[in-house]
Copies of this chain bind each other. A is one copy, B any other.
Amino acid sequence: MRLNVMKRSLEHIEYPQDTESLAKFAKALAHPTRIAILKQLENQSCCFTGDLVDVLPLAQSTISQHLKELKNAGLIQGELKPPKIKYCINQENWNRAKNLFQQFFE
């Protein structure tokens, strides 16, 4: 007999759009490696994956994974410069994030 059977609402709660967006951006920023990557991109506007691999003490695959998350959040975008990929801030979404945080902290 299992006493501690857990119910759990699989459908997730709906929050206002702004709340969801802000949380999503915050989640993208919620790891120091990703902050470091974004700071790098802010400084030199763009850079290649390899530049980051040289600078950060993490496996190439790990960095690629962080880049993917930043891309999924819309904060960066990649441009093909074969055989490399040049990553830049996505200025439009960057500004959206900026405004959401600004407005949140009022």
Contact = CB atoms under 8 A, between A and B. Distances in A.
B3 A15 contact: no
* Number of chain copies forming the complex: 2
A13 B57 contact: yes
Contact of A53 (B3, B30, B32, B105): B3
B29 A22 contact: yes
Contacts of A15: 32-33, 35-36
Contacts of A30: 23, 26-27, 29-30
A8 B84 CA distance: 26
Contacts of A29: 22-23, 26, 30
Contacts of A106: 42
